């Protein structure tokens, strides 16, 4: 298991480097984003079963390609729609490899006029943890399913992860927060900031607590999760071709084309066009109605692996709303930028 000193060293290294340049309905996933305003969920993180993991979490990086609706497909019985959608696809940096899409988007930040587009297509991070729920403010609410295995998985947004990481760097903390005897609980407190959920009041507990015998027995009985098992499968060569093609189509403002991409990456509610053509990385998209306000928008449930259900509800809504606001503010300018970007992409390919 990694030591606290190891984690601090690696976090510091990552910080320096960055400055230099489930199944849907799976009750193992604890939906902390569903707690009410001003309520607090208390979590206790556990180590990863993968002893080669230097942290007690794994990072998941995805792209969210916006499409202006869905094209009709008579062959596959798909109706046309002008409702904007976001389609998630894996970023290769998640597997330690170079990513062509990300490399392309990086160049946009060199031009101030393309920064807005760069933020729109930049990789999105979430973090997968596991542990116990020591206090669940939703415990007595209808529909709150508690699994037999009390070891839950937690999908943590970048904003909460930043708070977790900053405290880990505090030298006053002497033991690993995951230590069975001297570990720390983490308190996720939900408030609101404007129209969106805000978790900036979340924090580590100040006092160490030991796991209960019941919790130790649960670890013995069920075992810990190998967190990387819940990341998307690594895309193959054909998947990468499709991702690149969808990226360019998205930048150009096209609708999702099921006939072209349905065997590989499909929006929620659709089946794969032809499973025999698809690789193991075929995934569902996150579909969000970006025409609605954050208060009206509803987080969607997806039908594939946990890897497609990790973004918190408030992140899906906020990102979708921000992107559509930017487009509506300067529609002609955005279109012009898209064309400029596509010229850049295609000139490099030649």
How far, rounded to the nearest angstrom, does the alpha carbon of residue 69 sit from its chain's CA centroid?
Answer: 22
Under 8 Å between Cβ of 185 and 134: yes
Under 8 Å between Cβ of 22 and 305: yes
Closest CA to 215 of 138, 130, 156: 130
Q: How far apart are CA 78 and CA 258, in angstroms?
A: 8
| 156: helix, strand or coil | strand
**Angle, in degrees to the nearest 10, between helices 331-349 and 100-108:** 130
How do beta strands 283-284 and 191-193 pair? unpaired
Per-residue pLDDT of the chain (350 residues; tens, 9 = 90+): 777 677 666 666 665 554 443 333 467 999 999 999 999 999 999 999 999 999 999 999 999 999 999 999 988 888 899 999 999 999 999 999 999 999 999 999 999 999 999 999 999 999 999 999 999 999 888 767 778 999 999 999 999 999 999 888 888 888 899 999 999 999 999 999 888 899 999 999 989 999 999 999 999 999 999 999 999 999 999 999 999 999 999 999 999 999 999 999 987 656 666 544 445 445 554 444 333 333 233 333 333 334 334 443 434 434 433 333 333 333 344 445 555 655 555 565 55
How far CA 250 is from CA of 35, 63, 79, in Å, comes to 34, 12, 19
- Give domain limits for the chain: 4-349
Q: Give residue 129's pLDDT.
A: 97
Q: Give residue 347's pLDDT.
A: 60
How far CA 165 is from CA of 30, 160, 185, 334, in Å, comes to 20, 9, 14, 36
> Which token pair is 3?
């030591």
Residue 195 has a CB neighbour count (10 Å cut-off) of 12
Q: Is the dihedral of CA 115, 117, 120, 122 positive or negative?
A: negative
211-237 core/surface letters (b: 16 or more CB in 10 A; e: else) = beeebeebbeeeeebebbebbbebbee
Give 251's contacts (C-beta < 8 A, 6+ positions apart): 117, 121, 338, 341, 342, 345
What end-to-end distance do the CA atoms of the chain give, in Å? 48
> Which token pair is 204?
């580590």
- pTM of model > 0.85: no
Instruction: Considering only the C-alpha atoms of the chain, give the largest distance between any 2 of them, rounded to a whole number of Å.
Output: 64
240 phi/psi in degrees, rounded to 5? -65, -35
The superfamily (CATH) of domain 4-349 is Replication Fork Single-Stranded Dna Binding Protein (3.90.198.10)
Give 94's contacts (C-beta < 8 A, 6+ positions apart): 59, 60, 61, 62, 231, 232
């Amino acid at each position: 298991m990694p030591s606290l000193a190891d984690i601090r060293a690696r976090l510091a290294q990552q910080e320096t480097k960055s400055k230099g340049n489930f199944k849907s309905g799976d009750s193992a996933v604890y939906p902390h984003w569903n707690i009410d305003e001003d309520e607090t969920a208390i979590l206790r993180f556990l180590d990863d079963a993968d002893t080669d993991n230097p942290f007690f979490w794994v990072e998941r990086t995805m792209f969210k390609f916006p499409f202006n609706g869905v094209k009709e497909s008579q062959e596959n019985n798909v109706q046309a729609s002008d409702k904007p959608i976001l389609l998630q696809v894996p970023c290769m940096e998640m597997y330690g490899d170079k990513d062509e899409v990300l490399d392309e988007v990086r160049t946009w930040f060199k031009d101030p006029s393309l920064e807005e587009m760069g933020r729109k297509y930049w990789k999105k991070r979430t973090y997968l943890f596991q542990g116990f729920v020591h206090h669940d403010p939703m415990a007595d609410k209808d529909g709150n399913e508690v699994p037999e295995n009390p070891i839950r998985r937690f999908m943590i947004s970048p904003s909460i992860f930043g708070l977790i990481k900053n405290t880990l760097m505090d030298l006053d903390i002497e033991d690993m927060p995951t230590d069975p005897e001297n570990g720390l609980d983490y308190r996720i407190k939900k408030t609101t900031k404007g129209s969106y959920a805000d978790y900036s009041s979340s924090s580590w507990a100040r006092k160490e607590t030991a796991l209960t015998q019941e919790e130790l027995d649960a670890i013995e009985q069920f075992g810990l999760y190998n967190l990387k098992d819940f990341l998307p499968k690594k895309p193959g060569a054909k998947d990468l071709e499709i991702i690149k093609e969808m990226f360019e189509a998205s930048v150009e403002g096209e609708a999702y084309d099921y006939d072209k991409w349905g065997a590989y990456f499909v929006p929620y509610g659709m089946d794969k066009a032809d499973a025999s053509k698809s690789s193991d990385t075929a995934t569902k998209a996150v579909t969000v109605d970006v025409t609605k306000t954050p208060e009206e928008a509803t987080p969607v449930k997806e039908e594939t692996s946990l890897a497609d259900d990790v973004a918190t509800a408030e992140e899906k809504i906020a990102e979708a709303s921000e992107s559509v606001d930017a487009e509506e503010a300067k529609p002609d300018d955005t279109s012009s930028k898209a064309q400029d970007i596509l010229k850049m992409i295609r000139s490099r390919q030649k």
